[in-house]
Amino acid sequence: MIDRVIWIVLDSVGMGELPDAAAYGDVGSNTIGNIAKKVGGLALPNLTRLGLGNIEGMEQLSKDASAARTAKPEGIFARLSELSNGKDTITGHWEMAGIFTERPFPTYPNGFPPEVIGAFEKAVGVGTLGNKTASGTEILDELGEEHMKTKKLIVYTSADSVFQIAAHEELYPIPKLYEICETARRLLDGQHTVARVIARPFIGSPGAFTRTANRHDYAIAPPYDTVLDTVAKNGLAVMAVGKIVDIFNGRGVTESVHTKSNDDGIDKTLGYMQNGKTGLIFTNLVDFDMKWGHRNDYAAYAKGLEAFDARLPEILSAMTERDVLFLTADHGCDPTFPGTDHTREYVPLVGYGAGFTPGVDLGTRKSFADIGQTIAEILSCEPIRYGESFLSLIRRK
């Protein structure tokens, strides 16, 4: 009997353009494949033995295509298509959990319109700086000193549907910044319902500003129940690691912990695995996206993939016979691709556990939601609205 699922999202680790990539300007994107080409191959022995290199379209994983495949994969594997419209964090995670997003969340490549910024400044009683698409570190270098002199808030966005507010913790203590973000969240509705308002506190002095771990996301609430809700309603634990609790606005989460890095996220996941609770451990490892994908740092991204692979045995060793593991992603963010936007890609799925028949190739699935539907069935919960369970294909006979 399986009574616990460990579900880890390698944020932005896509594996090749989707058929509709042209509509998003993403033809030629392939996060894993293009990184592997750039660095001359990736050393991912543990993911390879589970079956990552056996997934259709994963030919460029290593220098030698044959070396990326294994004759006897220890896990199950698939390539997942995105059914929803969009390529952002919320859309990807929500679809995995059973939500179809028909209308993409609004983005603001040219900054927010006057009616949005004006209403925000009036509501919080202070002016703003920036109002453009920018890297979170670069905009501090550009506007941090002016912010310190004027006390104006730094407002910026990204390729995602986000309204980000940066402020120095000495000028705006954390409770005050969070209050400001809550005001922004209430204002941003209707046609301007962005997916997330994000508090971006920082410390330091000009030339040496540093973002702190006090980031907080204010996401919109899911429109209906996800697999997190169904698991929690069945009396099981839903343990969220990283930004999962923010992505789902707390819905269906019974306990959560934020993280500082991928390594910290793995440590926190291992901590939850030791508590003996049944249900779901749902982890997001954000460094792939935030630190390397959006910054076009393919070399660091490659090292990050290899670092995760090196720690994967710790997770596998901590599993019991009643555990199963799913590894996947929420979208692409090809660091070799022009621009710093997310990319519309397939994502890989690798599963492992004593309850699974090893070596099952699930091919290309129609929706990320197939994961959530399968988890619902594994934990004997009610079906979610979207997705097709593949449990019957992988359950050990």
Q: At how many degrees (to 10) do helices 298-318 and 262-273 cross?
A: 10
Tokens of 37: 């080409």
Is the pLDDT at 235 greater than 90? The verdict is: yes
Q: 369-379: per-residue pLDDT in tens?
A: 999 999 999 99
Decide: 313 and 46 in contact? Cβ < 8 Å: yes
Selecting from 3.90.170.10, 3.40.50.300, 3.30.70.1250, 3.40.50.720, what CATH number does the domain 114-219 have?
Answer: 3.30.70.1250
Residue 338 CB coordination number (10 Å): 11
Q: 205-220: per-residue pLDDT in tens?
A: 999 999 998 988 898 9
Domains in the chain: boundaries: 4-99+222-394, 114-219
Decide: 21 and 29 in contact? Cβ < 8 Å: yes
Q: 308-342: per-residue pLDDT in tens?
A: 999 999 999 999 999 999 999 999 999 999 988 89
- State which amino acid sits at residue 320: T
Mean pLDDT of 38-65: 87
Q: At how many degrees (to 10) do helices 369-378 and 89-97 cross?
A: 40
**Considering all CA atoms of the chain, what is the largest pairwise distance in Å, rounded to the nearest integer?**
68
| Residue 22 backbone phi and psi in degrees, to 5 | -60, -35
Q: How much is the pTM?
A: 0.91
Span 4-99+222-394: which CATH code?
A: 3.40.720.10
